[in-house]
Structure 1
Amino acid sequence: MSGRRGNGESSVYFSESDGKWHAWCTVGAKPDGRPDRRHRMAATETEVRAKLKELEKQRAAGRVRKAGRPPTIGQWMDVFLDTVCARKVEDGSMAPRTLDDYRSKNRLYITPGIGKHRIDRLAPEHLDKLYLTLLRSGGEDGEPLASSTVLKVHRVVSRALKVAMQREMITRNVATLLDAPSAEEQEIEPLTRAEARAVLDEAGRRRNGARWSVGAALGLRQGEALGMRWSYLDFETGMLRVHWQLQRLKWRHGCEDPHACGERLHRKACKRDCTAHRTYKRGCPKPCAKDCTEHASRCPERRDGGLVFRTPKGKNKRIVPVPAPLLSILKAQRTAQKRERLVAGELWEEHDLVFCQANGRPIDPRHDWEELQDILEVSGVAARGTHASGRHTAGTLLTENGVGLRVVMEILGHSQPRVAQRYTHVSSPLAEDAATKMGDALWG
């Protein structure tokens, strides 16, 4: 036997019982205060001393992982989503819909692809293989995923591994050792000036028609427009504080055992609706998903779902000027709403909303989208989403009229210039005028 053993120092020795060389190294203290001694073993003294040297190097750099068997990626993703991210949702530092998106990416792509790898044995090539598979045939229907979706998967993995490294479960984040997937810039399809005027003309004949004027003129997101409140609109100064948004969140189980609750609801649904499974005494032979989110809406103690009001994050919470013509339209909207309040009487629910149902309750985003599709069809304009018809149209019109990129970012609430730069790619009268001037300069 050789090496040192006293005072918590490293030791190296040969064991005749197994014919192996062994090394022990104290890397710190366990939670109960006892020394945390780690063991290394090899066939030769040279090999075991090399392992010991690496362990001591990790100890000096503070990169020794915690004691105990590291979890798999699948196990850690459950902990990361159910505790780390869930806590951030509770304190308001993460939006609930962001967590829903994380859960979806994990359920569809991360856990099926790399979930069985132990977290400390995950290598960059495992991620390369995962991303390649997703880009080739990663969709549920076997179709390739969009590069932007694969980039989102990479970001979720990277954030989960970053937290694992902070908690000393791993010594490095392997997601940082490879280039992130590049996402192609999505083409935007805003309304032209003529289309926007046709849409607003048709909307003006309808109840809550001012909602679409707000979208096109101010570039508000759908949730921001539906969550707009009278008390945040100053008719004297013409300023609107965008401090609230309406969102529909997925229901989550409120019971103690979501899995058992989901299994019960799943079997009940199969026995009632699915003729192919009625012969099974225990209901559907396919087990429910682990978190049973598809059944949470029917949980007797469901929570955190439905229509909710939330404050926008970061620069999305902003103050924007309202054009004078739009102020006149909104004054007419307020007058019409006062009449509806009188008609509704005791049925009216006061939420201070600028746009609401005839009883004062919030408008479901789905119904808002359906109303837009009907307006577009009647106006003879191709179908588009609420973002293209409002937000993208506002950004494009601002750019076409010579408004600077920074001002566009301030009005729309963008935090990154690259997001607002999408509107500069659209051919504008300014660009056409510049081309005319260049032609005159070169060819007269």
Structure 2
Amino acid sequence: MASTDQDSDIVLPCSILDTDLYKFTMQQAVLKHFSHVQASYRFTNRDKARSFSRACFDRLKASVAHFSDLVLAPAERAWLARACSYFTPTYLDFLSSYRFDPAQVHIAFIPRADSADEGDIEIDVTGPWVETILWEVPLMATLSEIFFLTDDMDWDMAGQDDLAFAKAERLLAHGCIVSEFGTRRRRSYAVQDVVVSQMKRAHSAQSAGRGKLAGTSNAYLAYRHDLTPIGTIAHEWFMGVAALTGYEGANGRAMDLWEAVYPDVLLIALTDTFSTKAFFDDFAKDVERARRWRGLRQDSGDPHAFAPAAKAVYDALGIDSREKTIIYSDALDVDKALELQAQCSALGFNASFGIGTFLTNDFCKVSDSAQKSKALNIVIKVAEVDGRPCVKISDDLLKNTGDAETVDKVKDMYGLPKA
């Protein structure tokens, strides 16, 4: 195991499986429905006060050039077929032949006015959607790892195993069902590997706890640690479907297209691509679909407001919320998860928690242990499909992603406030 080649500046994923499972589930859906669609993705550094060095940029470019070395090994394919029976032989053949094409990735360094060696990084990925869909997560993870090897080295691994174990132990002792979701903004592969192994140890060490380690979103770490790979659907699917087919009724249409690929599995709906309000408007129009889908994922806005709103919708549709699960995945820590667990229990929902950066990028500075060593705040989002702009509004209604004119049009359509 080594995502970093100690003899060079190259940093690579450990495997083509070293990514979030939902990139593969969405890739199979794109292969079925949109195999000829072109797409582009765009990187955003949300923390404008934080810059990158030219050395970091150079190392990233050199690493991306080697992504084409990644292949699906026969043993990995066999495991994927066993662990994820919803992947068809046709898709597994496609993934076995898939190679990252570094020519699809354009990376530029934009120096600051006061320094030629510090600045921002621009990343654009362009090509067939069915191919470019796999770049997002490993690109982000690679950049984060390189940054903390190159630009910010005021940290170390001391105590990470005990910290991860203690977090998992507390969650499990309170009966939480938890998954590790930390690939994209991890400090390094080594950190995530420690986190997953310690969460598994905490699960095995339970004496009377009711909690459960459901698995990890990282397919390679699930393979490595004999865990369940966890993942369903991301904003990208709803964004792409809406751009290609229209925003009116886009949530319901995206769910129907998804269900055509996964008729009896992976039916957890992500609610906030165009706001949860807009989602529930579509959701309530098809009672039988609402019954079939196993639950909902909350990923932005006020998490404490989500379950009461969801219960009101289910009650209005005559659906027993005790049969449904809410998965929380937005900036969780232990205390927040325990509060939401108690709320869901009181309301009659099953609850589950996908916890990411809090597990895989939680560090203090070596030079001052009272100071946090902050994780990068970075995203890569689909920007266009077939030349049509993709947008994400979320439940943080003034924090939008994508073409501003399209954002305003979609907000007008859904009756949402503008900035």
Q: TM-score range by the shorter chain?
A: under 0.3
Q: Higher strand share goes to which structure?
A: 2
Give the structure with the larger helix fraction. Answer: 1
RCO higher in structure (CA 8 A, sep ≥6):
2
Computing the radius of gyration from Cα coordinates, the structure with the larger value is 1
TM-score when normalising by structure 1: 0.24
